Amino acid sequence: MKRRDFLISSAAAAGASMLPLEAWSQSDRRKELLIVANETGPNSLDIHTVGANRPAYGVSWMCYDRLMTFGKKTLPDGQVMYDYTKLEPELAESWKIAPDGNSVTFKLRKGAKFHDGTPVTARDVKYSFDRAVSVRGFPTFQMKAGSLEKPEQFVAVDDHTFRVNFLRKDKLSMMDMAVPVPSIFNSALVKKHATEKDPWALEWTKVNVAGGGAYKIESYKPGQEIIFARYEDWKSGKLPKIRRIVQREIPSAGNRRALLEKGDIDMTYEMPPKDFLELSKAGKVNVSTTPIENSIWYIDMNVKSGPFANVKVRQAVAWAIPYEKIMDNAMYKRSIPMYADKDNKASGTVWPQAHGYKQDIVKARALMKEAGFENGFETVLSFDLGQGTVSEPACILIQEALALIGIKVSINKIPGSNWRAAMLKKDMPISLNRFGGWLNYAEYFFFWNYHGQNAVFNTMSYQNPAMDKLIDAARFESDAKKYQAHVQGFIDMAFEEVPRIPLAQPNFDVAMQKSIKGYTYWFHLQPDYRDLEKA
């Protein structure tokens, strides 16, 4: 038996209780089974749990419905991606914004059921929104980004009518209801597992799904694999063509590439840029490459204490970074440069955009002298091993360059499973990371990263009331000229004070067999299996 046939047979056997094997021919198995291999898998089945990683976002997207989803658009090169300017029905079949703009009323699909057969009602939607704004941490901050902040805003009018009362005019409110966080939970099922210490049953939902999305979880083995099975009674969209997905964790990028080239797996991502470049040139598999909107690779310097509290030291580092070497040897030119602009000022309201720093060791040394650190200092540069294919070679290049201005750098490799916890501690002197904003607005990015509320992604510990005022003003500004002034103001401030050094806007690469059709790039960087089919 060939390896791929063995994988198919194994997956079929795993789901034998759900579908008689005699009803599923070998050709059907090949057509309706998708085998995916990635570096890491979900560490939780619930995006609301503390420390839920990016693969957990994909579980939420597949296993839970939201009221709305985003439309799609085709790029000039033929790639398909989500369109954040278009909202389309999912669990809600329609909605109407009140004439005064102060609320929106959703009509839910009749006949929609959770995976256990329980009908979905507006009470479940209210419970789910209440949960998202109450569990604290990432989910609650995400809801707040769209001015969805209080349980009192959410009203179950009747079984199939749900209303959101807006706190203020916020262009992100509607969009924020289409991201993975406000997923709709089976409230009766979750409440059965709630305790006094865990009122939202987060420990139970971490390893159990209480949704009604297009896929169920057939099997979940943390650190090994997760198997999705199509929910045959899904009502919130067209039933997916792929019946079952086996998503395996294979840390070695070389092994995943070999499996893909042999045809043993259908899809993979999270590989070094060099591999995607070579696969694209070879032409045996398809490689989809899409710039990640509102996203950058960056270096953060903790401004709370130590040498990086000095703006001249931060500027010195910005002039010392070997941008071109990082682009060539860590990113293999598969990112968009965000440095060496003609000046260090904002141009328009788009984000990301290039700053004016480029490698100039003479200028960097002069700034170190002005700052009183002519003899340099020692520090620790941390990165996420889960992104090590780019981060590790980049950190080595940064280490070498900073030595030229007297900064002796030790490199700290933090396992991906611990990275979010390390960020929350806010004690890394300098770190390399990547962030992408789900909603494509500069003020959304800055709200998450630079705002004085000091969210998890503000590993700079940067707090500036003047910048906060500009970010908050931009979020709710309707006048185009005033909006531009606010945005350019906070970008200029970020470039001048440089607590964060943007390096590049990353691409998102996915490699797949030529038989895979329907791939769409999504902002959460997880494949939407509902779109896919196999020729």
DSSP characters for 203-231? HHHTTS----SSEEEEEEETTTEEEEEE-
> What is the structure's pLDDT at 28?
59
321 close to 359: Cβ distance less than 8 angstroms: yes
Question: Is 189 within a domain?
Answer: yes
3-state class percentages of the chain: helix first, strand second, coil last, to nearest 5? 35, 25, 40
Residue with tokens 């570096």: 39
CA distance 34 to 45: 20
pLDDT, one tens digit per residue, over 262-276 is 999 999 998 999 999
User: Residue 340's domain is classified under what CATH number?
Assistant: 3.10.105.10
- Quick one: 187 and 328 in the same domain? no
CA distance 189 to 194: 9
| 8-22, 26-40, 284-298, 386-400: least confident range | 8-22
Question: Is 233 within a domain?
Answer: yes
Q: Given pLDDT bands bounded at 50, 70 and 90, which one contains residue 208?
A: very high
- How big is the chain by its Cα radius of gyration, in Å? 24
- Quick one: 105 and 126 in the same domain? yes
- Quick one: 55 and 186 in the same domain? yes
Exposed e or buried b for every residue in 163-187, given b needs 16+ CB within 10 A?
bbebbeebbbbbbbbbbbbbbbbbb
pLDDT over 80 (residue 306): yes
DSSP 306: S
- Quick one: 168 and 213 in the same domain? yes
- Quick one: 83 and 144 in the same domain? yes
CA distance 254 to 267: 14
pLDDT over 80 (residue 470): yes
Question: What phi, psi does 372 have (nearest 5°)?
Answer: 90, 20
End-to-end CA distance of the chain: 23
Q: Given pLDDT bands bounded at 50, 70 and 90, which one contains residue 416?
A: confident
Q: Given pLDDT bands bounded at 50, 70 and 90, which one contains residue 418?
A: confident
Q: How many CB atoms lie within 10 A of CB 273?
A: 19
Question: Is 282 within a domain?
Answer: no
- Quick one: 220 and 364 in the same domain? no
Taking the CA of residue 432 as centre, how many other CA atoms within 13 Å lie in the half-sphere pointing to its CB?
A: 30
At position 147, the amino acid (one-letter code) is S
User: Residue 185's domain is classified under what CATH number?
Assistant: 3.40.190.10
Q: Which residues contact 480 (CB under 8 A, 6 or more apart)?
A: none
Q: Please compute the mean of the pLDDT values over residues 502-509 and round it to a whole number.
A: 97
530 close to 62: Cβ distance less than 8 angstroms: yes
| 73-77, 98-102, 356-360: least confident range | 73-77
Q: Please compute the mean of the pLDDT values over residues 469-483 and round it to a whole number.
A: 96
| 24-28, 61-65, 155-159, 197-201: least confident range | 24-28
Q: How many CB atoms lie within 10 A of CB 375?
A: 8
CA distance 3 to 225: 17
pLDDT, one tens digit per residue, over 21-54 is 344 445 556 789 999 999 889 999 999 998 888 8
Question: Is 279 within a domain?
Answer: no
pLDDT, one tens digit per residue, over 80-126 is 999 999 999 999 999 999 999 999 999 999 999 999 999 999 999 99
Beta-strand ranges (E) seen in 442-521 are 500-512, 516-517
Number of domains making up the chain: 2
- Quick one: 93 and 131 in the same domain? yes
> What is the structure's pLDDT at 27?
55
- Quick one: 379 and 525 in the same domain? no
264 close to 7: Cβ distance less than 8 angstroms: yes
Closest residue by Cα to residue 257 from 241, 244, 276: 276
Q: The domain containing residue 311 runs over which residues?
A: 295-507
- Quick one: 260 and 300 in the same domain? no
Question: Is 287 within a domain?
Answer: no
- Quick one: 517 and 502 in the same domain? no
**Average pLDDT, rounded, for the chain:** 94
Q: How far is CA 518 from the centre of its chain?
A: 21
- Quick one: 84 and 114 in the same domain? yes
Question: Is 171 within a domain?
Answer: yes
Q: Which residues contact 122 (CB under 8 A, 6 or more apart)?
A: 108, 156, 157, 158, 159, 160, 161, 162
- Quick one: 356 and 465 in the same domain? yes
Question: Is 285 within a domain?
Answer: no
Closest residue by Cα to residue 361 from 300, 409, 318: 318
pLDDT over 90 (residue 7): no
At position 357, the amino acid (one-letter code) is Y
34 close to 266: Cβ distance less than 8 angstroms: yes
Residue with tokens 């929609």: 112
Question: Is 437 within a domain?
Answer: yes
Residue 521 backbone class (left: φ over 0; alpha: ψ -120 to 50; beta: rest): beta
